[in-house]
């Protein structure tokens, strides 16, 4: 028997993995379930793993596999997390973003990209094609299309589109320190880069990912 919070988290994980191929971040889980800290999420994930509902994959950041979902999660007591549907929405596909050494600033090119309605929430969103391999540890590969919610601020540990010196755009994990703003890769082959706060502008926050298989 699962607690309501365990059911809510399992439903959230199942819905997000089916929609975008990767689970939400711990911060997203915490916010979705209304918990005060990420330690509560760690306890819920451990409980689900011990009961055989999920499996954490070793040596991969945020890698979780759903093993089974109880049928009662479809009932009236299930989480209000929206379920995957055939409905889609078109968002602007504004170009390529470097997951590696920053490339030229992204530009609107008039193209659109269709994604499941369930992938996005409130706010304006756009899509970018990933170029490079510096974020592979976060499950973001060369050629993936990332879905970005427009924002000019972000919290530490968010994966963001950052504009450096108003001319170079990159996709990195953000960390603000007393020394400046760190743009952190998820690949040990790439160093963390630190900039003064006036040199980095947040353009948006990663909320989803689409992978094409050829």
Residue 172 tokens read as 């990195």
* Dihedral class, residue 171 (left if φ above 0, else alpha if ψ from -120 to 50, else beta): beta
Write down the catalytic residue from 7, 172, 176, 178: 172
The catalytically annotated residue of 134, 150, 176, 178 is 134
Nearest C-alpha neighbor of 26 from the set 182, 147, 158: 158
CB distance 195 to 132 below 8 Å: no
| Catalytic status, residue 172 | yes
Which residue do the tokens 């001319």 mark? 167
Coil, strand or helix: which one is 202? Answer: strand
Q: How many CA atoms lie within 13 A of 65 on its CB side?
A: 7
State phi, psi for 15 to the nearest 5 degrees: -65, -45
3-state DSSP assignment of residue 44: helix
Helix and strand numbers (H, E) in the chain are 3, 12
Q: How far apart are CA 151 and CA 158, in angstroms?
A: 12
Q: Which residues are catalytic?
A: 134, 172
């Amino acid at each position: 028997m699962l607690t309501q919070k365990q059911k809510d988290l399992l439903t959230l994980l199942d819905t997000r993995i089916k929609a975008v191929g990767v689970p939400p971040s711990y911060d997203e889980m915490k916010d979705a379930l209304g918990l005060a800290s990420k330690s509560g999420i760690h306890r819920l994930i451990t409980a689900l793993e011990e009961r055989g509902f999920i499996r954490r994959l070793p040596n991969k950041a945020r890698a979780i596999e759903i093993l089974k979902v109880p049928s009662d999660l479809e009932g009236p007591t299930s989480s209000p997390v929206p379920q995957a549907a055939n409905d889609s929405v078109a968002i602007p596909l504004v170009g390529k973003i470097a997951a590696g050494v920053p490339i030229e600033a992204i530009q609107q090119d008039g193209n659109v990209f269709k994604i499941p309605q369930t992938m996005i929430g409130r706010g304006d969103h756009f899509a970018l094609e990933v170029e490079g391999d510096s974020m592979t540890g976060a499950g973001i590969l060369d050629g993936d299309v990332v879905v970005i919610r427009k924002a000019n601020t972000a919290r530490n540990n968010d994966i963001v589109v950052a504009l450096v010196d108003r001319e170079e755009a990159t996709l990195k994990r953000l960390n603000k320190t007393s020394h400046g703003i760190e743009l952190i890769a998820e690949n040990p082959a790439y160093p963390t880069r630190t900039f003064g706060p006036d040199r980095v502008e947040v353009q948006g926050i990663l909320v989803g990912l689409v992978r094409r298989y050829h």
